[in-house]
Homo-oligomer: A and B are copies of this chain.
Amino acid sequence: MEHIRNKDLSHRKVQKKIRVVDREGRPLSGQQLHLMQTEHEFLFGCGAFEVMPYALKNENKEVTDKWLEVFNYGTLPFYWGRYEPEEGKPDRDHLMKAAEFLKSRKVKVKGHPLCWHTVCADWLMKYDNRTILEKQLKRIEREVTGFAGVIDMWDVINEVVIMPIFDKYDNAVTRICKDLGRVRLIKEVFEEAHRANPDAVLLLNDFNTSIDYEILIDGCLNAGVPITAIGIQSHQHQGYWGAEKLYEVLERFSHFGLPLHFTENTLISGQIMPAHIEDLNDYQVSEWPTTPEGEERQAKEVEEMYRILFSHPRVQAITTWDFRDGAWLGAPSGFLRKDGSVKPSYEMLRKLIHEEWKTDMTLTTDENGVAVADAFRGRYEIDLKESTTEASFTDDSELVITV
C-alpha cells in the first residue's frame, strides 16, 4: 500500500498563484490568506437511491445526512420499466424533485440508464422493432431535454456487449439490438441524447471489461458516436480485483483518450460470492451478513482502490453503487450497515475525500503580494481579513484579490 499512498497526485492539483493588491493595484505583502476547499472537481459518487425518501418525503434524514457528508455526485434511477410502468405515465415529478434536491446540495446528478435490456418496459414488447426504436429514441429525447440543467450526465446505454445475446427473458431492447447490431443501436441512442442536450456528459457503461468492450468502444469511436466518457462497472461481490487487475483495466481503457468513470463500484464486507456464479443476479441467499473482519477488509480495499483510481489521470469519477447494506442482491455492500450505522469503509472514504484530498491551508503573501497554493482542484473560499472570496481552482492562472 505504501507505494500506492505515495503516488503522484499533481494532476488533481493546481499551483494557484494568488496576488493580493490594494485598490491602486499595489501588491500587499504579509497578508494572511486562509484557503478552504468547498467542492471537489473530482466526482466522488454514490447511488443516490437512498436519498430519495428524504428528497420526496423528508424520511431517512440520518442516512441522507451521512450520504451528503461524503459525496458530491449521485446516480438516480431511470430504469424504463419502473420510470414508466404504464406507457405515457412517466414518473417525472419524483425524479425531478430528487434531482433538484441533490442539485440544491451541490451534488451533481447522473441519470441511469436511458437504454437497457434489463428492467425494460414490458409494454414495449407489443410493438414491432421499428416502433420500439422510435419509442426508445423519443424516451431519450424526453428525459434528456426534460431534465437538462438539473441532470446533464447520463448513462445512455448499459451493458451492450451482452445486449443482443441476453437470453434470460425476451425484452424489447434485446430485440432491437439484435436487429440493428450493437454499434448502430449505440449510435442511434447517443446521437439522440446528444441532439437533446449537446452539453451533456454521455456515458457508455458496461460490466464487461474484457477485449469485447475495448473493441466495442473502438468501433463506436470510429463510427463517430459522441461518447464523452467510458463507464466501467466494478461490482466485486466475488472478491476485490486487486491492484494488478485495476491497473491493467486502467491501462487498456485509457488508450481511447476519454475520461474514465467507475460507475458502479461494489466492495463487500461479508462472505465473498462463489466464483462459479456467472450472472451475479443468480446468487440468492436468505441472509448475507456484514462481519467485523469483512468490514476491515472492505475498508482496506476501498482505500487501495480509491487511491489507485484517484492517482490515475484519466479517472474523473468513482461511484459506489450501494450506500447501505442490503440493497442489490441483499449484499453487505454499503458504507452503512442495514441499521444505518457507519462502517470503517465510510470513515476511510470520508477521511480520504475530506481530509487527505481536500485543501485547507493558510498562506502569507510575499514581498510581491503573492502566495502560491498547492491545492486540490475545486471550489474555494479564501478568507482575507474580514472578506471572503469564492473561486474555482481549475488551472494555474493567477487569481487577483483586491482589498
Is A198 an interface residue when CB atoms closer than 8 A count as contact?
A: no
> Which residues on B sit within 8 Å (CB–CB) of A6?
none
- Looking at the complex, which one of B165, B212, B218, B223 makes contact with A181 (CB distance below 8 Å)? B218
**Chain B residue with the shortest CB-CB distance to A179:** B255
Main secondary structure of the interface of A (DSSP, over half): helix
Query: Residue A36 at the B interface, CB < 8 A?
Result: no
Do the beta carbons of A184 and B219 come within 8 Å of each other? no
Name the B residues within 8 Å of A223 (CB-CB): 219, 222-224
Q: Quick one: which of A161, A211, A215, A220 has the most chain B CB within 10 A?
A: A215
What is the total number of copies of this protein in its complex?
2
A218 surroundings in chain B (CB, below 8 A):
181-184, 216, 219
**Complex interface: chain B residues within 8 A of A215 (CB):** 161, 182-183, 212, 215-216, 219
Interchain CA distance A173-B353 in the complex, whole Å: 44
Residue interface mask A197-240, B partner, CB < 8 A = 1? 00000000000000110011011111110000000000000000
A184 proximity list for chain B (CB < 8 A): 218, 222
**A187 beta carbon closer than 8 Å to chain B:** yes
Q: Is there an interface contact between B216 and A165, defined as CB atoms closer than 8 Å? A: no
A76 to B157, CA, bound (A): 44
A166-209 vs B, Cβ < 8 Å mask (1 yes, 0 no): 00000000000000011110010000000000000000000000
Query: Could you write out 9 A-B pairs with CB less than 8 Å apart?
Result: A161-B215, A181-B255, A181-B256, A183-B219, A212-B212, A212-B215, A219-B219, A219-B222, A223-B223
List the 3 closest pairs (A to B, CB-CB), nearest first: A219-B219, A222-B223, A183-B222
